[in-house]
Chains A and B, each alone.
Chain A
């Protein structure tokens, strides 16, 4: 075999490139063979890639679709939006790229669809950057362990199941148990505490009236300026519902990769799985358990793995995720809930029984967990969180005996009384997130015993009175405490003095 001449090789390669370029203008084309239910079956385009964007000619201009089924004889392409404009025989061309969505600061304060088109009646959004809707998650070496707190402002969560920046914490429960309320309060708290965290709320198949109420509430609370809403309604095509969380994540990743912090809320992934099931069945993919396609786990795992805390080398940004899953009759062992529970770093389980007993947020202390735990908790709240959790777990064990009030020994009765007061303390109205110092003071007031003689029904009033007095008389100390460091002896003395004085006024 003759020795390969490198210069000839270079010339041959350049000639081959020139030959390819000479066929510029000829583009790959296919034709729609049939269309229906949001899927166009295309003949031709043998070089189309998976998830590549295709353009289908229609009387009103090109309609976009993306290729999801690459089969031997035809391509199944899911149409983005108006399938009524697409007819059989229409010409189809490849766009040569995968789906992207506008990303950037220009989206803050806006309500958009998964393709970045405005839904709020505002001007068209022009961004300098585009983000890939499908993108691999950051590798192991690009990550750092979660160590910074993301305060939700909800005492029960921040004290017992703390969430850190870069964590995935699932919010799971039946319908109407307050799942979205937790997400909204968390977003409001980012503005109230001026954390600088950008919120991205992805509404998947949510009623437009609910999204409208949400936008109005966020505007009232002054949160909308640091929030992006990606909205899809139940009447939107399943393809848009499928894309929504990925599009929202691309928008959040923009901030993460710049070294900033973003919070993703996916409301809810149950509807997302249902939309994906619909698409897969229409693409004639074989159904699996509960008729979901075989890759329904991968649907959510590849989404949630993109939420991470980045290493210092990559800018130390973070993307925190609060996915929401709706259960039926409290069954957390069903298919989709168990899938997402195994992916996330913990869950907050909301129970219908607790909700109707008036315990709101209706968080089940027994079934909820945060796998990151104390590493993501402020020292101040951590110092009282242990006693809180212990008090509640002891109360849960003894709760069945609460009805035997006078027949119990003193220590059992004391544990039950303490548990009832803690339960009452953890009730929190919606849209009123609490700051670090408020949480510390409230929990300390009960766990230290200062409120032991305050009737259960007066606990919330006593709490409010203590907080008001402390803010009025010791504002600097409370501001100092709000930084999150472990309280000093001086802080504790001031808090104990005020708490005891206020508690006397509420004792029965």
Chain B
């Protein structure tokens, strides 16, 4: 019986193929996950692929803010991540009140007002 490939191995393979321009690798991955009944790992596998792409210089950044980002903020975010190609996915969430929340595949920064209020509430507890 063939041994199960680890998620890290699959993610590295997929990232290398995507960088080479082979988009069919996603269909192959999907087929593998279904065959091995590992559909539940799909979300985690996406994170792993994004982490591998980040290591290779292409970072997907999810930004949540209370208001839309202006060009200057986007440039600051890109500068924060150094010499990498940054792809920003922006979501506006008014409940954050102010500030922003940044998440890369492996790191996060939460400078929202909602977070600060929550921290104060927990300190009181």
Chain A interface (Cβ within 8 Å of chain B)? Answer: 19, 22-23, 25-29, 33, 43-46, 60-61, 72-73, 91
Contact = CB atoms under 8 A, between A and B. Distances in A.
Given A25-B109, A26-B102, A60-B125, A44 B80 contact: no
A61 B124 CA distance: 11
Given A22-B80, A44-B47, A61-B125, A72 B6 contact: yes
B56 to A, nearest CB: 15
A72 B106 contact: no
Contacts of A91: 108
5 contacts: A22-B80, A22-B82, A23-B82, A29-B107, A43-B47
Contacts of B6: 72-73
Given A22-B79, A22-B80, A26-B109, 13 more contacts: A25-B109, A26-B107, A26-B108, A27-B108, A29-B108, A44-B51, A45-B106, A60-B125, A61-B125, A72-B6, A72-B7, A73-B48, A91-B108
Interface string B55-95: 00000000000000000000000011110000000000000
Contacts of A44: 47, 51, 106
Contacts of B82: 19, 22-23
Contact of A73 (B7, B81, B107, B108): B7
Nearest to A25: B109
A33 B6 CA distance: 15
The 9 A-B residue pairs with the shortest CB-CB distance in the complex, in nearest-first order: A26-B107, A29-B108, A73-B7, A72-B6, A25-B109, A26-B109, A61-B122, A72-B8, A43-B44
B75 to A, nearest CB: 14
A402 B47 CA distance: 80
Interface string B98-125: 0000111011110100000000001001
Contacts of B111: 25
A46 B44 contact: no
A22 B78 CA distance: 12
A25 B107 CA distance: 9
Contacts of A29: 103, 106-108
A26 B111 CA distance: 10
A45 B8 CA distance: 13
Contacts of B125: 60-61
Nearest to A30: B106
Contacts of A23: 80-82, 107
Nearest to A73: B7
Interface in B9-62: 9, 44, 47-48, 51
Contacts of B103: 29
Contacts of A61: 122, 125
B106 A33 contact: no
Nearest to B121: A61
B44 A33 contact: yes
Contacts of B104: 26
Nearest to A60: B125
A46 B108 CA distance: 14
Nearest to B122: A61
A45 B108 CA distance: 11
A27 B109 contact: yes
